[in-house]
Chain A
Amino acid sequence: MESWIVETKGLKKYYKLGDNTVKALDGVDFRVREQEFVAIIGKSGSGKSTLLHMVGGLDTPTEGEVIVAGRSLNGLTKEELAIFRRRKVGFIFQNYNLVPELNIYENIVLPIELDGKRIDHSFVEGLLDVLKLTEKREAYPGNLSGGQQQRAAIARAIASKPAIILADEPTGNLDTASGHDVLGLLKTVAKQFQQTIVLITHDQDIAQLADRIVCIEDGKIRKGSDLHA
């Protein structure tokens, strides 16, 4: 039997919008293998970000189940979900979401520090080196370019050695060159540190970098879309 690092079963997320019900996710069954690089593609409003938020424990489903690293997220309290996120998930957002008051190094080690764990300095140094951020370790996010900030976000996502990295349109705010640069680095780092990546994008070219592409449409995974890139 195959082991899945992420598994969703009949995942549904409905929103009430006045008298209407919006079905952001409508029974999604989705699986990711360990060390796999999966790209989820879909149009705007298709539900790809909602799926990512469910998998990352940022949002709770209306129905269905999310299992990450063998643990169901159903029934976890807010506190437990926060702890789950900092231990099991590394997020990379389109708008970087770095903490502006902390410098790059502090941003990278923040989830580890919040967890009270010991920082693996050599690991972080290695990350900085691979992501070409060694020189910028003391800089504050406001003083860096978009590409540099996104690389810092990647470092933060990987630093705590999570079970899975969730990247939501990581190149959305970057120019093409920076975008490719960042994605190339993400893939390199993921390989080097044996990480699993779920990436959301609406760009087919970017999706081609993944091991597998999943297409989502109107809150459902399009049949036959689960393709190997």
Chain B
Amino acid sequence: MLRNNNMQVIARMAGRSLRSHRQRSFTMILAVLLSSFMLFSVMTVGTTYFKMHRLENLRMSGGDFDAIMYGVTREQKKNCEENPDIRTFGVSAMSGYIEETEFDSTPNVSLCWADDIWWNEIMAPAREWVKGDYPKEVNEVMVTEYALEKCGFQGLGIGDEFSAVYGVRGEKQEMTFRICGIWDGYGDKSMFFVSEKFYQKTGYELSDVASGRICLKFEKKLITQKMQDAFIESMNLGKQQRVLFTMDSAFSVRILCGIAGLVLVTCLCAYLLIYNILYLSVAGNIRYYGLLQTIGMTGRQIRQLVRRQMLLIGGMGLSGGVLLGGGVSFFVVPSVVKALGVHLGKGGEITVAFHPGILALTVLITAVTVCVAGRKPAKMAVACSPVEALGYRPAASAPSSPGLRFLTGRNTRVRKKSKRCNRSGNVMRQVSPAGRIRRMAMEQITKDKKKSGIVMLSLAAAMSVFLCMATLLASQAAREYNSIYRDFDMVIKNDTLQKENKEERVQIFGGEVMEKLNEIDGIEEINPLIYTEITVPWEPVFADQWMREFYDMWMNIPYEDDIEEYKEFPENFGSSLVGISKADFEALNEMLEQPADEEDFLSGKTCLLYQNGLDLENGEVKGENVTCTEYGNQENARTFEIAGLVDDNTYTALLGYPPTIIVSRQAVESFADEPVIFKMGVRYKEEKSRQSIRERILQTVNGYQPSKEYKETESAVLGVMEGCPYSRDYSYESRMKTMEEVKRAQGNMMEIGIGAAFILALIGVMNYINTFLGNIQNRRAEIAILESIGMTGRQVKRMLLTEGLMYAAGAWAVTAVCGTAVTYLIYQSMNYMGAGFMIPVLPVAGMMILSGVICVSIPAAAYHMIEKEGIVEYIVMPC
């Protein structure tokens, strides 16, 4: 039999069918266009977001590496060289500290040597600029302006020299350093890089945990927990050694899964959108397909016709979507990124750009989605018999052909027995009109669980992304990053504690300074932490146990080598007695598994000990006694009962070998004549109480900006400190400074995240609109039946609004459960500064209200559309 070429006529019919139903064709093309655009945008935005996140972590870590190890032996280094999973590694060594300069006796600047890989490969992406070369000679240093300033050498440049006293392994030496290079960027900038010659002269070993560092970059981009554990196992770590994986490595799998999930949800939503429209299109044309069959078109030809239509629609929509997506990628996003103030420097700034891989993936996914979405409607068009198709009305009587069953979904499921029937099955409880309407609305939602579920999921996806972004903005917004203890706004430290000589460790926050600080209007609280130097004499029970553990953990020599000296001259093993306030105690007590008795602590009966990383359990020491004597005055002794061990190093002044004993402030004051303030926390007056409504609104819209008063208070505090006699012997940390640093590091990550939320919200809402309107179209006859038996317009409207609210409630529930869980995981993956998890109430409430309004307004609009139509045409079977 000769094959009859009828493709031409099918192509012509497909084209004409699209042309004759212009509005419907336009809607379908728009759906494909928007879906492909959304996929393109989500993937572009997702990729950019991923890169931004990596960049942020890279900046916070100060280099591009996956793990850092403290202390590295020759064997471990060799192990790394031979490990095929490690792409590269660089080593560095802390080579001492600048002890003092002619301008500053407490500069707080370290000396560090870095090998070629560390400097040129690992650190390079985190650097914004570098001038000069890495040091080669003993006296050469590579500096930052920040470190120079800390030493009091601001303004010096390449080729300039400066003298400084530096400390190496407890010894002080003086040297004239020559600046051979300056750099700036991200990471620890309070250090001078020195030459290998200098490092070798110091006698430090890479195996010293306090000195040697090795930064590792792995071959694989995704490092699972299993891989991390295997690596740690293979390194055979010593007791003091630690391996830390960067946040990026530790959570890369989770982040990628998150983005993949986002793409999947988008695909699902796009699928549903296309499927819904095609489904409705075929459903609306079922008589047309029946007619075609009546006049002799075969099933294969009808399938070809539907596919041809899909091809035309998909082709046009896809081209438009990709062009739109390309336009956005090329022009809009980079402009937005620039407008957001991100500077394109050598620090590895990301520019959103067109990516061929994303384009290919978009085309593939959209094509597959259109194909899959069109399959069922095509089957449906073929499966219905011509006779039934001519009499078909959606959602009316039970269809008998498989094709029509496709459309109605009836006759194919077995319904559960009504729960409203009593045991005998005779009497049913009557429901009120409102209850009946609610039940009917619920029936509609549960009728096609898959579709309702995906619509809810689609809405929930958008809400979850918004929730995630809002939470990140609120919790990880710069203002929430505060490493300062007890959430103070500023902590000022007494840097004379770093002096070797006890006489130089003095009270710098004397009466006059405190008086001036107290006079500042914007300060609410000043919380000084005081200390006095002590010795902890040897005794066979607790002191001996502590020192044994201490040597085991931190020292390279055995305890036995020093035990005799310790017994005879305990003053050579100094430590400190720290005095804290009641509020400090309460904060510490919260961290203890077995809280200490407040009264005993405040009365000076008990103490807490700083654990200092030792392998001691709380139970091992709790209840034991520790005795201390005033440094240089063994007559003045005091014994405290140990109430617990604490990890928080906030309350440590001078770390010695014996324990830091933390007691109440009164206990220190009664023990020593002149305790020294080593640190004080400053809290500013509550900002919110001083903010105007306008400021609060602006803060919600633009993100957090410190108020004018807040800035003024900080300036005033720094002004007092600058004016005091020890102006060079203090350092400080402030919430505002951290905030600026975090904001700089985060770049435009949040804006891109909000972009993703917006796109998903658009998909979700479109899907909802499409599904609901399709649903109404399908149910028009059913609604007409209800109206014919007496359901009033108001009742119909209420039923539709209830359905809308149920969709919203479903989406809220999914968001509350899954969205919050995902948000928490993502949040933790980015929580590099330990900010507290907090869901912002106002934006989330706003989101819920807005989604509720959308979910209710669409049914209202749909009803408005149908209320003008008559009932008769829908309830009468066409003859």
Q: Which residues of A contact B (CB under 8 A)?
A: 44, 49, 53, 56, 58-59, 78-79, 82-87, 91, 93-103, 105-106, 109-111, 113-116, 118-119, 121, 125, 137-138, 140-143, 149, 156, 160, 168, 172-173
Given contacts A106-B418, A138-B425, contact A82 B876 (CB under 8 A): no
A46 shortest CB reach to chain B, Å: 12
Residues in A with CB closer than 8 Å to B872 are 53, 58-59
Whether B789 pairs with A141 at a CB distance below 8 angstroms is no
Whether B415 pairs with A113 at a CB distance below 8 angstroms is no
A170 shortest CB reach to chain B, Å: 12
Give A110 to B787 CA distance when docked, in angstroms: 11
Residues in A with CB closer than 8 Å to B425 are 137-138
Question: B158-166, B705-713, B790-798: which one contacts chain A?
Answer: B790-798
Given contacts A58-B788, A85-B789, contact A100 B875 (CB under 8 A): no
Given contacts A106-B418, A113-B431, A140-B415, contact A85 B790 (CB under 8 A): yes
Tell me which of A97, A98, A118 contacts B430 (CB under 8 A). Answer: A118
Q: Is B295 an interface residue (CB 8 A)?
A: no
Q: How large is the interface on B (under 10, 10 to 19, 20 to 34, 35 or more residues)?
A: 35 or more
Known: A93-B788, A115-B790, A140-B415. 16 other contacts (CB 8 A): A49-B876, A82-B793, A85-B789, A85-B790, A86-B789, A94-B877, A95-B876, A101-B444, A105-B428, A109-B430, A113-B432, A113-B436, A118-B430, A138-B417, A142-B411, A172-B877
Whether A138 pairs with B792 at a CB distance below 8 angstroms is no
Give A225 to B530 CA distance when docked, in angstroms: 114
Whether B789 pairs with A111 at a CB distance below 8 angstroms is yes
Given contacts A49-B876, A82-B787, A101-B440, contact A143 B433 (CB under 8 A): no
Whether A114 pairs with B447 at a CB distance below 8 angstroms is no
Given contacts A82-B791, A83-B790, A86-B790, contact A100 B410 (CB under 8 A): yes
Residues in A with CB closer than 8 Å to B444 are 101
Give A173 to B788 CA distance when docked, in angstroms: 20
Whether A91 pairs with B788 at a CB distance below 8 angstroms is yes
Residues in B with CB closer than 8 Å to A143 are 398, 411, 415
Give A125 to B426 CA distance when docked, in angstroms: 8
Tell me which of B395, B432, B789, B876 contacts A110 (CB under 8 A). Answer: B789
Given contacts A59-B872, A85-B789, A102-B443, contact A95 B397 (CB under 8 A): yes
Given contacts A103-B418, A106-B418, A140-B415, contact A97 B433 (CB under 8 A): no
Give A95 to B874 CA distance when docked, in angstroms: 11
Residues in A with CB closer than 8 Å to B782 are 99-100
Whether A100 pairs with B876 at a CB distance below 8 angstroms is no
A/B interface sample: 7 pairs, CB < 8 A:
A79-B793, A96-B397, A97-B788, A103-B415, A106-B428, A113-B433, A138-B425
Whether B443 pairs with A114 at a CB distance below 8 angstroms is no
Whether A101 pairs with B792 at a CB distance below 8 angstroms is no
Whether B790 pairs with A114 at a CB distance below 8 angstroms is yes
Q: Is B339 an interface residue (CB 8 A)?
A: no
Name, among A78, A94, A115, A121, the residue most crowded by chain B CB atoms within 10 Å (CB to CB): A78
Residues in B with CB closer than 8 Å to A102 are 440, 443
Residues in A with CB closer than 8 Å to B260 are none
Residues in A with CB closer than 8 Å to B393 are 95
Q: Is B786 an interface residue (CB 8 A)?
A: yes
Whether B430 pairs with A173 at a CB distance below 8 angstroms is no
A198 shortest CB reach to chain B, Å: 15
Those 9 A-B pairs whose CB atoms lie nearest each other, nearest first = A86-B790, A101-B443, A142-B398, A82-B792, A142-B410, A95-B877, A97-B785, A85-B790, A113-B436
Chain B minimum-CB-distance residue to A112: B430
Residues in B with CB closer than 8 Å to A99 are 440, 782, 785-786
Whether A121 pairs with B427 at a CB distance below 8 angstroms is yes
Whether A138 pairs with B793 at a CB distance below 8 angstroms is no
Residues in A with CB closer than 8 Å to B291 are none
Give A140 to B409 CA distance when docked, in angstroms: 13
Residues in B with CB closer than 8 Å to A53 are 872
B795 shortest CB reach to chain A, Å: 6
Residues in A with CB closer than 8 Å to B418 are 103, 105-106, 138
Chain B minimum-CB-distance residue to A144: B398
Q: Is B848 an interface residue (CB 8 A)?
A: no
B residues 403-449 near A (Cβ < 8 Å) are 408, 410-411, 415, 417-418, 421, 425-428, 430-433, 436, 440, 443-444, 447
B82 shortest CB reach to chain A, Å: 69
Residues in B with CB closer than 8 Å to A91 are 788-789
Interface of B is mostly: loop
Whether B789 pairs with A113 at a CB distance below 8 angstroms is no
A199 shortest CB reach to chain B, Å: 15
Tell me which of B395, B417, B788, B867 contacts A100 (CB under 8 A). Answer: B395
Residues in B with CB closer than 8 Å to A110 are 436, 786, 789
Residues in A with CB closer than 8 Å to B789 are 85-86, 91, 110-111, 114, 156
Q: Is B879 an interface residue (CB 8 A)?
A: yes
A89 shortest CB reach to chain B, Å: 8
Q: Is B511 an interface residue (CB 8 A)?
A: no
Give A209 to B739 CA distance when docked, in angstroms: 90
Give A103 to B419 CA distance when docked, in angstroms: 12
Chain B minimum-CB-distance residue to A90: B789
Give A105 to B436 CA distance when docked, in angstroms: 13
Give A211 to B666 CA distance when docked, in angstroms: 109
Whether A93 pairs with B411 at a CB distance below 8 angstroms is no
Q: Is B871 an interface residue (CB 8 A)?
A: yes
Chain B minimum-CB-distance residue to A103: B418
Per-residue interface assignment for chain B, residues 844 to 879, with 1 indicating a CB less than 8 Å from any chain A CB and 0 otherwise = 000000000000000000000001001110011101
Residues in B with CB closer than 8 Å to A94 are 876-877
Whether B421 pairs with A97 at a CB distance below 8 angstroms is no
B14 shortest CB reach to chain A, Å: 30
Give A106 to B437 CA distance when docked, in angstroms: 12
Chain A minimum-CB-distance residue to B868: A78
Give A3 to B436 CA distance when docked, in angstroms: 37
Give A121 to B424 CA distance when docked, in angstroms: 14
Residues in B with CB closer than 8 Å to A82 are 787, 790-793, 795
Q: Is B588 an interface residue (CB 8 A)?
A: no
Residues in A with CB closer than 8 Å to B839 are none
Name, among A79, A84, A114, A140, the residue most crowded by chain B CB atoms within 10 Å (CB to CB): A114
Give A72 to B629 CA distance when docked, in angstroms: 107
Give A93 to B870 CA distance when docked, in angstroms: 17
Whether A79 pairs with B794 at a CB distance below 8 angstroms is yes
Chain A minimum-CB-distance residue to B794: A79
Tell me which of B427, B795, B875 contacts A114 (CB under 8 A). Answer: B795
Residues in A with CB closer than 8 Å to B792 are 78-79, 82-83, 114
Chain A minimum-CB-distance residue to B792: A82
Whether A95 pairs with B428 at a CB distance below 8 angstroms is no
Given contacts A58-B871, A116-B433, contact A141 B788 (CB under 8 A): no
Tell me which of A56, A86, A101, A121 contacts B791 (CB under 8 A). Answer: A86
B874 shortest CB reach to chain A, Å: 10
B393 shortest CB reach to chain A, Å: 8
Whether A168 pairs with B876 at a CB distance below 8 angstroms is yes
Name, among A91, A105, A106, the residue most crowded by chain B CB atoms within 10 Å (CB to CB): A106
Tell me which of B396, B436, B790 contacts A87 (CB under 8 A). Answer: B790
Give A118 to B432 CA distance when docked, in angstroms: 9
Whether A113 pairs with B877 at a CB distance below 8 angstroms is no
Residues in A with CB closer than 8 Å to B870 are 58-59
Whether A58 pairs with B790 at a CB distance below 8 angstroms is no
Chain A minimum-CB-distance residue to B876: A49
B868 shortest CB reach to chain A, Å: 10
B596 shortest CB reach to chain A, Å: 64
B870 shortest CB reach to chain A, Å: 7
Give A53 to B784 CA distance when docked, in angstroms: 13
Whether B432 pairs with A116 at a CB distance below 8 angstroms is yes
Give A113 to B439 CA distance when docked, in angstroms: 12
Whether A113 pairs with B430 at a CB distance below 8 angstroms is yes
Give A113 to B430 CA distance when docked, in angstroms: 7
B776 shortest CB reach to chain A, Å: 15
Residues in A with CB closer than 8 Å to B867 are 78
Chain A minimum-CB-distance residue to B426: A125
Chain A minimum-CB-distance residue to B398: A142
Residues in A with CB closer than 8 Å to B786 are 99, 110
